[in-house]
Structure formats: structure tokens, C-alpha cells
Amino acid sequence: MKLMRLIHQATVSTLTLPPHHSTNGYLIGGDGEALLIDPIFQQGNPLDTCLQENRIRSIRYAAVTHPHPDHHGGIDPLLSRHGGRLLCHRDTAEPTVFRLTDGARLKPLSGGESIEAGPYTLQVLHTPGHSPAHLCFYIPQEGILFSGDTILGRGTSIISPPEGDMADYITTLRTLAAMDIRIICPAHGPVITEGVRERIDWYIAHRMMREARVVEALKEGLSTPSLITRRIYDEADFRMHGHDLQPRAERTVLAHLEKLEKEGAVVRQANADSPHFRIV
């Protein structure tokens, strides 16, 4: 699907977290050469079709926002066929992570780099939160952000410790809120073209609202993620998202508690078999 000149979306079915059932890959380029973002490749799948439709003969880079298995696949055969290198955060630049046979194909990034892709220049942003090694890719000329799992087209991102870090995530969102972003191309859900600024602001406000409720629950004397989750999530939340919400919600509450702990607002009780927290 063409999003704009030389930017295409190829959505592939994946085992990802509900309500999503697919991952959006993106192709930037033309004239035979392309850069891919979160490519999942298989002979005849939507990405393969997209490459053929755009007559892509060579791939310059296959960029992966973060190493979760629903964000990359078949990269070894893809790069063997079309050439190119795999871009990822330096902390995950291991051939085994991406099942690459040739480690020389890896190009580790830290954030701050500029990558040429057809007529566009992508800025690499290190955006920890959902995962410590998460990258977003930004085209300043067009105000386009390829957001990976940092901002989704529908619903909110999962922040699950120890990989997920709520303090880092809020910092990342505030950085994005200060940028000129007009279009968000997420890894899951529809592309966001309207109300982008409002959506980022809502992402921050939603987390801060949740955190305020965690603090209230702590003040009431509740001390574990499980008890706090049952106190602050409504029955309606569980009905809407299904029974698998409880463990996911508990991970989110733990992420908030760890953020508050880092900030010195709560302390973790020592010698408890499950984590207990209390307000300072």
C-alpha cells in the first residue's frame, strides 16, 4: 500500500499482542533500491509482493526497531537475495538475534545517525521504554515518524519490566512530543495522520493518570502489583480486553512502581518473596 511518494506499507500477519494481529513493515525507496523497516520476509508474503511491485532489486538497509520476534523475520534469505545490511541498536547487534549467517551484515546504531533512503534522510532516534534497545526512524522533511512499538496505531504499548522501563518511556514520549511529527507509521495498527500531537500528549497523560492511581492505592496501604492492579483497573477494562489483561496490567503497574522507586517516591520492601512497595 502506497502511503506517499516512495513510501509503502506491507502488513504481515504475526503472533503479536492483542488487539493486534499483524506487523506493519515499511519500504522506502524506488529506482531499484530500498530501505525496509521491520521487515518480515517470506516468499510470496506481502513484503515480497511489495518488493516486486516496486521493482526493488537491491536493499540498502533492513532496519529493525527492536529485536522482538514480531518485528523481523526471514532477513537472512532477504539480504542474501537482495544484498544490504541490517540496522539495529548496538546492544542487540548479534547475528543469532536475527538468525543471520553473516555477522558482517550487521550495522549497529546508537541513535543520532542519519541514514539515506532514496530522496529522504532518516534520523535514527534511540527511544527506550518498550524495550531498552528500541529505535525510531524520523524523516524531518516530511514530519514522519516510524514509531515501532513506542506509539501504536490503536491502543497503548506494553511496558513490561525488566525489559520495559516506564521512566525511560515517559522521557521518550516527552522527546517525541517536542518534535515536529505530522505522521506516525507504527509497527501495529493504522497509520496516524490526524491529531498526532494530541495522540502523543494523550499517551503521556494516560500514563500519568495511571501513575496517580497507583500512588492513591499505595496511600490506601495496598503494596503488591497484583492488589494495586485489582484496585485501579475497572471491571470494564477486563471485559473490554479479556482475561489476559490482568497479568499484562500487573506488569504495567510494576513498571509504574519501579519508576516511582527510581524517583525516590516509593521503596521496595526487603526480604519479600513477591515485590512489595510502600510510599515514602
Binding residues for Zn ion (CB under 5 A): 68, 149
Nearer to Zn ion, 68 or 259 (CB): 68
Least separation, in Å, of the C-beta of 66 and Zn ion?
6
Least separation, in Å, of the C-beta of 131 and Zn ion?
6
DSSP 229-277: HHHHS-HHHHHHH-TTHHHHHHHHHHHHHHHHHHTTSEEEPTT-SS--E
Least separation, in Å, of the C-beta of 217 and Zn ion?
27
How far apart (Å, rounded) are the C-alpha atoms in residues 174 and 200? Answer: 8
Nearer to Zn ion, 64 or 222 (CB): 64
| C-alpha 136 chain-centroid distance | 8
* DSSP letter, residue 131: S
Nearer to Zn ion, 68 or 256 (CB): 68
Least separation, in Å, of the C-beta of 63 and Zn ion?
15
Per the listing, cell 517470506 goes with 42
Nearer to Zn ion, 149 or 168 (CB): 149
Nearer to Zn ion, 105 or 130 (CB): 130
**Cβ-closest residue to Zn ion?**
68
Least separation, in Å, of the C-beta of 232 and Zn ion?
24
How far apart (Å, rounded) are the C-alpha atoms in residues 175 and 18? Answer: 27
Please give the helix or strand (H or E) that residue 201 lies within, else none: helix 196-219
